Chain A
Amino acid sequence: MTADLAQSGSATLQQEPDSQEPIVVVDDVSIIFDVKPVLQNISFTVQRGETRIILGPAGGGKSVLMKLVNGLLKPDTGSIHVFGHDVSTMPEVDLFKLRSRIGMVFQESALFDSLSVGDNVAYRLHEDRVSEEEVHSRVIEALQFVALENTIDKIPSELSGGMRRRVSIARAIITHPDLILYDSPTGGLDPITSTTIIDLVIKQRDVTQTTSLVITHRIQDAYLLARSRFNTQTEKVEQIPNNGIDDSTKFLVLNEGKVVFDGTTEELVHSNDPWLKEYLS
């Protein structure tokens, strides 16, 4: 299963003409809701294969930034390029095609409550008119990845919050997207379930090297992501030996709509910014 995902992930990566080009480029983006500025002059880039953790207190504009990257919202100023396409000016019709390369996990899962787990996960395949046999095998494959293959016939209201979040991850990865957006995947979950979800994010990162943006306001989740790896031999997530840090994981810290920090885990830990020090402590 993991080998299949790895294979398909690398296959899609090879389709890119210029592998050095950043996957996401956010340039001087601002957005105001009513009269309140939610994001102000945000700029950062996400390279291919990078996992960018967007950290910050609640209400700092993290989810809005995620929706801007997926073209679900339009910025008031600035531009956002995803796979080289400017999603801030793109018509919605073209965005629908572009989004076939992007998987998104929503804060509250956003599963279709009138559809079964299997139909939720298969939603995009049904839209693409994929044959029922292939749909079934790929749904099983995606649900096995999140260890929920026995819930295929259940409806979302029968599942716990953590299980719903895992189904949402399965729905996001079923088409092997080139970019995955996780909007607070551990929000509102207990610590044990949060660890399970973060383990899945690590597994997805290390097995397919998919570029991803992960929003979290839990510092422990962010450090877990930066300091752990998925061992393909033991099929388990483990800490990187010798206090090692995952090179592909970087941080963007937002506070009150502004970028406070943009850099590597090492730089974050050794930052002298007083607000950042207090926040991380």
Chain B
Amino acid sequence: MPFVSPEIFAKQTLASIQDYSILSWRAVSNLFTRPRYMADIYTQMDYIGVGSMPIVVLTGFFTGCVLALQSATSLEAFGSVSLTGNLVALSMVKELGPVLTGLMVSGRNASGMASEIGSMKVTEQIDAMRALGTDPVRKLVTPRLYATIFMLFFLTIMSDACGIAGGALISIALLGLNGSSYFHNSYRALQYGDVVQGLAKPLFSGFIIATVGCYFGMNTKGGTQGVGKATTQAVVISSVFIIIVDLIVTRAMIGIFGR
């Protein structure tokens, strides 16, 4: 990787932030003006939402299982194994469900968006689209953005539910806890603020996944090697952004709800 002067690096970084911001704003605002590509939104919902279901379900379920096993070991020292349900539910709904789902969907879809749009960019298909009178941001980015935000919200709920179910399986089958008591404790542990926190996070993650994936796709340069680079960057940067924004949202929610 060639070294560049701090001045050039700063200028390039600022220009990238500017381009990213403009792309994001156009992607969001396009939905409020015609033409709208509703069929593309539904296609992307199917691809992103339904297509990501297996990995989200499996990840959520096994995370719940592991969480129950690990927490039971610690809780046993205090004689509180019965609180396993509380811990699994709170951890899954507030933190692990939204973050892990975001990361999984990022790995699958930010890379897919960057490579698909990037391939179109290097083969002049994006220019052809513009030459044919179609706004590529409206046609390619806006449907992916709204589809990701919408579907990630429901995927997170699914992941939370599977995680709690996984925890229940371990608690009942291996730890010998009462199933009814596990679910009762889980339900009782969750408060309004926890659920709001857990469901606010996927909205931000969905935005990050789609905008970062599409941004790197739209700015791909240099043929197939460039497509590979754009794909890698999209996954790395969207994953890091998801975790950083998770911290910010968590702090904000604690400030609002006090927990």
Contacts and interface: CB of A to CB of B under 8 A. Distances in A.
B130 interface: yes
Nearest to B35: A127
Interface in A175-191: none
A177 B241 CA distance: 46
Contact of A108 (B124, B129, B130, B132): B124
Interface in A97-118: 97, 99-100, 102, 104, 106-108, 110-113
A92 interface: yes
B175 to A, nearest CB: 50
A138 interface: no
Contact of A72 (B120, B127, B135): B127
Contacts of A70: 131
A148 B48 CA distance: 36
B134 A127 contact: yes
B123 A104 contact: no
Nearest to A127: B134
Contacts of B35: 127
B128 A106 contact: yes
A111 B132 CA distance: 11
Given A108-B123, A110-B123, A124 B132 contact: yes
B74 interface: no
Interface in B126-159: 127-135
A111 B131 CA distance: 12
B135 A96 contact: yes
Given A72-B130, A99-B130, A110 B124 contact: yes
A97 B129 CA distance: 13
Contacts of B120: 112
Interface residues of A, number: 23
A43 B129 CA distance: 28
A163 B135 CA distance: 27
A93 B137 CA distance: 12
A70 B130 CA distance: 9
B133 A127 contact: yes
B133 A100 contact: yes
A102 B131 contact: yes
Nearest to A99: B133
Nearest to A129: B35
B125 interface: yes
Contacts of A99: 130-133
A127 B132 contact: yes
A67 B132 CA distance: 13
A83 interface: no
A110 B128 contact: yes
B140 to A, nearest CB: 11
Interface string A184-206: 00000000000000000000000
A97 B123 contact: no
Question: Which one of B35, B124, B131, B133 has the greatest number of beta carbons of chain A within 10 Å?
Answer: B131
Contacts of A261: none
Given A108-B123, A110-B123, A72 B131 contact: yes
Contact of A112 (B125, B131, B135): B125
Interface in A119-135: 123-124, 127
A2 B210 CA distance: 46
A5 to B, nearest CB: 19
B178 to A, nearest CB: 53
Interface string A267-279: 0000000000000
Nearest to B122: A108
Contact of B134 (A67, A96, A113): A96
B122 to A, nearest CB: 10
A100 B132 CA distance: 7
Interface of B: 35, 120, 123-125, 127-135
Given A92-B130, A123-B134, 13 more contacts: A72-B127, A72-B130, A72-B131, A96-B135, A97-B133, A102-B131, A104-B128, A104-B131, A106-B127, A110-B125, A110-B127, A112-B125, A123-B132
Interface of A: 67, 70, 72, 92-93, 95-97, 99-100, 102, 104, 106-108, 110-113, 123-124, 127, 171
22 contacts: A92-B130, A93-B135, A99-B131, A99-B133, A104-B128, A106-B127, A106-B128, A106-B131, A110-B123, A110-B124, A110-B127, A110-B128, A111-B125, A111-B128, A112-B129, A113-B123, A113-B125, A123-B134, A124-B132, A124-B133, A127-B133, A127-B134
